Amino acid sequence: MLFFKDVAETFLKIESKSGRLEMTDILAQLFKKTDVKEIDKLIYLVQGILAPPYDGIELGLGEQFAIRAIASAAGYDRSKVESNYKKSGDLGLTIEELFAKKKQQSLSSSDMDVLYIYDSFVKMAKTSGQGSQELKIKYLTELLNNSSPTEARFIIRFVTGRLRLGVGDPTILDALSFSRTGDKSLREELERAYNVCSDLGYVAKTFFESPEKIVEFKVQPFKPLQPALAERLSTPKEIIEKLGSCSIEFKFDGFRLQCHKKGNEVELYSRKLEKMTHMFPDVVDAIKKLKVKEIIFEGEALAFNEPQKRYFSFQQTMHRRRKHGIDAASKELPLNIFVFDILYLNGKDLTAQPYSSRRKTLESIFPEEILKLSEKIDVKNEKEIEKLFKQSISEGLEGIMAKDLASPYTAGKRKFAWIKLKKSYGKAVDTIDGVIVGYYLGKGARVEFEFGGLLLAVYNEDNARLETVARIGSGYTEEEMKELQEMLEEIKTTAPPDKLDYKVEPDFWVQPKYVVEVAFDDITLSPMHTCGVKDDRGYALRFPRMQKMRGDKSISEITTTREVVDLYEKQMK
């Protein structure tokens, strides 16, 4: 049995380390003490979640509710808790300090194991209906009453989504391999298993049951795969130099769906791996009619304007998701799905097959009325690519996607198996996708909106940290400013996000949650930003302006520091 006090002590050790190897070793030692019945729950706790995103289990406990529970458990007024929090900027440190000089002691306490802690969190998350918030506070207070100061520190951080460990999924995967083999020899197999089921707890449990099962791990319905990601190049010539003969597909400005069917059961997942099934009954019905028992395929969803015989923009298509009247929305904004890849069919994992083979399988199944096969053209030279690119732009599409005919489906990987070539926006070199890490108050004409711009970050894969790249002050409509202010107000924090490197500070920090697409004129070197910083200067976007919210994208898909550096170097050439 693994006690939570041991987990909390391990978390404390990890916090004091900055090197990934040290963190890996500490985690591996903890995993060695963990039973097969506990490992999946422990993994979720380390990740700071209760379940993979497609299960939709979230605690939903804000800072104010946590403050009430701390006050109750520690025996202080809320004002005392809030005052301490303002100084520390960390509710975990606040409760640890208050517990160290606790006014009231619980009548009895006992060691809590990992399963008890995890089940308590799940109970809180599933409490709903009238009076649910009060019940959640009650359950949390009971946990805190039974906790040591160190345990309380991490319990509070977990329920408020601020665990601060600095441990990414790659470190967890390394530690799992080390815990059983003493080295990283099974890391690649573990990572592939994770990428094809998106559930690290399930992977760990399977691995603990038998390491051999990981080597044989297969795709399965209703455990969505991490989406394959495309690299970018700037010209048709570069694409031919990289791939040679390849296939070209038009790049639609829609949102990506991963569709799963087994028997008469169907589930739809966004690229963020959230369930979308209930939003699209028309798509579900079309998938049920497919003459296959089991299938997993991907497609780009676009709303279709029947009277005008044209496709709506991304923004209008995304509006379909937000409609409350689902049936009415499906008639007003009917969807077409342009199917572009197949990953699984009737019990067979197809991800290892080359793209050319997967495409032939697709062509034997589709199209249907709603489910349409994406158009594919094989090309041999840059002139053919240039012609297709111009055709795509003239038809109002985003650009093209070039695909390596021999490549397998690389779940969760950004590789040159897929290469995107997108249109420019005005003078813009390109666009990037970044995550909002803070926002500024409005000034002058924008005072009434309490919103004046965003602080944007990209992801550095080398050190697993976020780095600022732009302050965005333009590109918003008045309606968008109001919406952004309301959205960001809900995730405002007193401290900067974990694993963020920054030099400039916004008026308000926020949890890294929302992804936006940003256009810019070029990339410059700036002492104000930390993207790829070298000699006190980082890369920054010049004249950035917001293009659109990317509600379909997760933080794992934002532009990387390496991509920004590549764009800068191409620009200089």
- What is the set of active-site residues? 251
3-state secondary structure at position 433:
strand
The three state secondary structure string of 53-84 is HHHCCCCCCCHHHHHHHHHHHHCCCHHHHHHH
Asked, as a colleague might, if the bond just before 53 is cis with ω within 30 of 0, I would say no
Residue type for position 424 = S
Residue 142 has φ and ψ, to the nearest 5°, of: -65, -40
- Which tokens is 465 given? 């940290």
- The answer to whether the beta carbons of residues 8 and 163 sit under 8 Å apart is no
Cβ count near 319 (within 10 Å)? 15
Alpha-carbon span 357 to 360, nearest angstrom: 5
Alpha-carbon span 299 to 85, nearest angstrom: 46
Beta strand residue intervals within 428-464, DSSP E: 431-440, 453-460
Alpha-carbon span 390 to 248, nearest angstrom: 13
> 403: closest CA among 270, 197, 228?
228
DSSP string covering 531-553, please?
Answer: EEEETTEEEEEES-EEEEE-TT-
Q: How far apart are the first and last CA of the chain?
A: 60
DSSP string covering 281-324, please?
Answer: HHHHHHHHTSS-SEEEEEEEEEEEETTTTEEPPHHHHHHHHH-S
3-state secondary structure at position 559:
coil
Evaluated on CA atoms 378, 379, 384, 389, the torsion sign reads: positive
- Which tokens is 396 given? 């109002």
Kind plus residue range of the DSSP H or E element containing 130 = none
- The answer to whether the beta carbons of residues 377 and 248 sit under 8 Å apart is yes
In 128-199, alpha helices (H) = 132-145, 149-159, 169-181, 187-195
Alpha-carbon span 558 to 12, nearest angstrom: 30
Distances in Å between the alpha carbon of 481 and those of 313, 555, 558? 20, 22, 22
Alpha-carbon span 316 to 444, nearest angstrom: 31
Alpha-carbon span 69 to 124, nearest angstrom: 13
